[in-house]
Amino acid sequence: MTLVSLLLFSTIRVAAGTANTQLPTGDQVVARMLARDSERQAAFNGYTAARRYVLENQRYGKHAEMLVRLTCQKDGSKQFETVSATGWGGARKHVFPRLLEGETEASRPDSRDRSRIIPENYTFEMLGTEYVDGRPAYVIAITPKTPNKYLMQGRIWVDAAEYAIVRIEGQPAKNPSFWIRSVHFVHRYQKQGSFWFPVCNRSVTEVRIFGTTEVTIEYFDYAPHTPALSASRESVGRSLP
């Protein structure tokens, strides 16, 4: 091995060792993440967006789609308006409405803390770093402290520069039904303007008898509310009986 090779190897080894010793703990990253979330929340005035839900069950040849408009208020509460729904009637009448009802309930201010990724709900373990969409991110295992239907078991990827969640992968902390064998989901987020928004959710559910059902949610047409528009909405709301 040449001297240059030895020096290069030594430098890489020292750099790797330094990186390992400087890697923050999962709790430290989450603390920074929550601090940055508070900063972003102070500037947040809500938004409107569109979503496309697609359900597929290849075993029985079932397919359904739904397009919705979403309005998210400054306090995080969400309202949905179904624009169109096509395909399998069972999904249109039962699956899609329950998804919207569940998210509406979870978004309410008095319910939101039960589903947030915060120390009150989870323990955190640093696993390392990876690149997500070309950006370095911390990979953290999260373990729920209670078997709450709003919580999950899995991993989060936190952008190393902006301390925002860019990816979530895992399964529910509590099986939602006897008829469901397992659920695995992947959520992806991207920065748009000053905020990080979900861009795609994909879940695969193994259902007894019915087989594998996949649901994909695509998010688009984000339009953040301006402060003036948000104030106008609040004024209208207060004037209503």
Residue 16 lies in a domain: no
**Domain count along the chain:** 1
DSSP state of 103: H
Instruction: Summarize pLDDT for 1-15 with one digit per residue, the tens.
Output: 443 433 333 333 333
Residue 96 φ then ψ, to 5°: -60, -45
For 177, other C-beta atoms within 10 Å of its C-beta total 10
Give me the domain span that covers residue 185: 25-239
Confidence band, pLDDT 50/70/90 cuts, at residue 21: low
Residue 171 lies in a domain: yes
Three-state secondary-structure class, residue 140: strand
For every residue of 43-60, DSSP letters joined together read T---EEEEEEEEEEETTT
Confidence band, pLDDT 50/70/90 cuts, at residue 210: confident
Residue 18 lies in a domain: no
Residue 19 lies in a domain: no
Instruction: Summarize pLDDT for 151-173 with one digit per residue, the tens.
Output: 999 999 999 999 999 999 999 98
- Which residues face 219 on adjacent strands? 51
Residue 178 lies in a domain: yes
Q: The domain spanning residue 197 has which CATH number?
A: 2.50.20
Contacts of 217 (CB under 8 A, 6+ apart): 51, 52, 53, 54, 198, 200, 201, 202
Residue pair 160/23 in contact by the 8 Å Cβ criterion: no
pTM of model > 0.85: no
Q: 38 — alpha (psi -120 to 50), left (phi > 0) or beta?
A: alpha
